Chain A
Amino acid sequence: MKEIKLPILPVTSVGSFPKPDYLVKARNQYAKGLISYSTLHELELKATEEVIRMQEEIGVDVLVHGEMERGDMATYFAENLEGFTISGLVRSYGNRYYKKPIVIGKVKRTKPITVDMFKFAQSLTKKPVKGMLTGPYTIADWSFNEYYDNKRDLVLDLAEIINQEALDLEKAGALFVQIDEPAVPTHPEEIDIAKEAFKIATRGLRSFIITHICYGDFRPIWKDVVNFPVHQFDLEFTNNYDKLYPLIESFGFPKEKFVGLGVVDVHSHRIESVEEIKDRIRTALKYFRPEQIFVDPDCGLKTRTWEEARAKMENIVKAVAEIREELIKEGYPSEITIKLGD
């Protein structure tokens, strides 16, 4: 049995941080064949170190490595698996484009994908760093499929791959493993496939399992999703509070599970004030016990500038510090203890 001690209302973030300008430039040069992979990779490591230092300076409790080596969260995995090729550019919104995976054969993992970067990031800090994975349903749903006759077969093959990857992350020392499934709420009719896949992906894991699910209409699947085998659901309570709270009121939220409480909008340049963030936490405290809550942004911060990302995280830490004091005055313990099974 392992125990993790964290301050009450631990501050974390969802996953991605903005890439520094020099890395954006290097990625473009690498794509054009102007620099070598090792030159690019040096810069990815440099940027990862900066992301870790920034989070330590601000006072974040559970860190992320920032995903400096990843472009799109589904495409990155596809790039490192057999059975995939990568498409030309498609638009995601505004003037943003990404390359989407195309499944052209049976999908297979030939080597660990995320472990080296996790180890490197964890070696830089004493605070826990999350192992970051994209869920099997989401990788499948966000890929073009020219090979599998039915989606379930593709999703389940990917689930085995993500499971191997998660087990490797644990072996490398990850106490927190996050498996994001943002595509799940978009296909309520396929919830059984997503559920089956998630069970496979988390089979045999002993770490603190988190899933981040965003941008969806949870109404038809809430009862299924809250029973996913995870410790924490990370949800966007800033952009979607008006849909999430009524659901929690009607259908409840499991008492034994943790919530990742999104308290800032990641798609807006505006820096939310400390007071605003405190209000959002206070609202959440009407629905959750304080010991259940982790506080973070609504989603990954990669679309913000470095300064905006930092300012948003700083205000979260300040707001949390003030609420913590109030909670301690009310008699709550200053720490929470998470017990993980063997």
Chain B
Amino acid sequence: MIITVVDHYPKIPNPPREAKLRKAIHAYDQGKISKEELERVFDEVTKEVIEEQISAGVELITDGQIRWEDGQSYIAKKLDGIEIGGLFRYFDNNTYYRQPVVVGKIKWREPIILEDWKRAQDFAKNVPVKAVLTGPYTLARLSRDEYYKSIAELSNAYTDALIEEVKLLDKEGVKYLQFNEPSILYYPEDFDLLVDIYNRIRRYFSGNLAIYTYFYTVLPLRKEISRLNIDTFGIDFVSRKENFEILRDFPKNLALGYGIVDARNTKLETPEQIKSLVEKALEYVPEERLFVNPSCGLEYLPRERAYEKLVNLAKGVNLVRGERR
């Protein structure tokens, strides 16, 4: 078992702690601080959230995506052929993203998360940091396409571009690479396309390759997931209770990203509740193929509550470990 997180972490704490990132971005927007000063604050906050994850007991962490304004534009603004458009709701959350508008051929131009990952791994020392990207299929679904002719063509164009990033991450020694693909749950009929995309990505990455999904039902895909040429598949068991039905026939060729802490509600799970959920998974999935994590990224919660949830998650997993040793 590995205790991990899905992707983002709340960017600012609540008083009396200082909301330094919010202040710095505001000051930068008003021309009061330089790009370098803003970058320094991004680094400071990244370091803080890495320390918080580690101190809570998370064993495979992320950089918290502190630099990301949202899951789409952070990637899209570094690709050619895309403009950043209007504000759209992110799935069923009261949270918004700027819609990428595809106006020309999509091309990789510059590293997207390579430097972020390097710095984060540096801060985290011996705790592994996973690299996280929004997947090509979800990027395509959340874009407005004014250039390509179909979702398949657009997804493939995003795949080509992101493969350039994957090559760099692989070369740099990234051991865990995760793509978020929540959109596939809403269009299960496109699963063949997802399989093709990850067959291609697989060729360029030698470490643990994961796809994470969240927010919606995974049951229409229960017979299909095993066709993915990846190592780990993440599922949100909180937003949709029926997803527990998948445990009994979860594919033997994959590890499960077991999303059981509600990252979208403040109600705190107890270590005992976590323990019993982990035991439930262990009836069907062996320890060495289990990642335990929140249901999705933690930015939907106030920072302090996100931390408390991770602490209880780690305590719950450790209760199980204690009993099994």
The residues of B that contact A267 with a CB separation of less than 8 Å are 86-87
Chain A residue, CB-CB nearest to B14: A88
* Residue A97 CB within 8 A of the other chain: yes
Chain B, range 37-89, C-beta contacts under 8 Å to A = 69-70, 86-89
Chain A residues within 8 Å of B299, by CB: 90-91
Give Cα distance in the complex from A183 to B95, angstroms.
11
Which residues on the A side are within 8 Å of B304 (C-beta)? 88
* Nearest B residue to A217, CB-CB: B186
The answer to whether B94 and A91 touch across the interface, beta carbons within 8 angstroms, is no
With A87-B302, A215-B88, A239-B88 in contact, is A93–B266 under 8 Å at CB? no
Q: Is chain B's binding surface mostly helix, strand, loop or mixed?
A: loop
B92 touches A93 (CB 8 A): no
Partner of B86, one of A87, A91, A144, A239: A239
The listed residue with most A CB atoms (<10 A of its CB), out of B26, B87, B88, is: B87
Q: Answer whether residue B12 sits at the interface, using C-beta atoms and an 8 A cutoff.
A: yes
- Of B11, B97, B302, which one neighbours A88 at CB under 8 angstroms? B302
Given A87-B302, A88-B302, A216-B89: A145 and B267 interface contact (C-beta under 8 Å): yes
**Chain B neighbourhood of A145, CB < 8 A:** 265, 267
User: Is B127 an interface position by the 8 A CB rule?
Assistant: no
Knowing A91-B95, A92-B94, A97-B22 touch, does A146 contact B267 (C-beta < 8 A)?
A: yes
Closest Cβ–Cβ distance, residue A141 to chain B (whole Å):
8
| Chain B hits for A93, CB < 8 A | 69-70, 87, 95-98
CB contacts under 8 Å to B, within A236-295, are 239, 242, 265, 267-268
Contact of B26 among A95, A100, A142, A265 (CB under 8 A): A95
B235-270 CB mask vs A (1 if < 8 Å, else 0) is 000000000000000000000000000000111000
B301 interface contact, C-beta 8 A? yes
| Among A74, A91, A214, A216, residue most surrounded by chain B Cβ atoms (within 10 Å) | A91
Distance (Å) between the CB of B312 and the closest chain A CB?
15
Cα–Cα distance between A282 and B19 once the two chains are bound (Å) = 47
Chain B minimum-CB-distance residue to A145: B265
What chain B residues lie within 8 Å of A216 (beta carbons)? 89
Q: Which 5 A-B pairs have the closest CB atoms?
A: A88-B302, A186-B92, A215-B89, A88-B14, A93-B96
9 residue pairs of the A-B complex, CB under 8 angstroms, read A88-B302, A89-B302, A89-B303, A90-B10, A93-B87, A93-B97, A141-B94, A146-B265, A215-B88
Residues of B within 8 A of A (CB): 10-12, 14, 19, 22, 25-26, 29, 69-70, 86-89, 91-98, 144, 265-267, 299-305
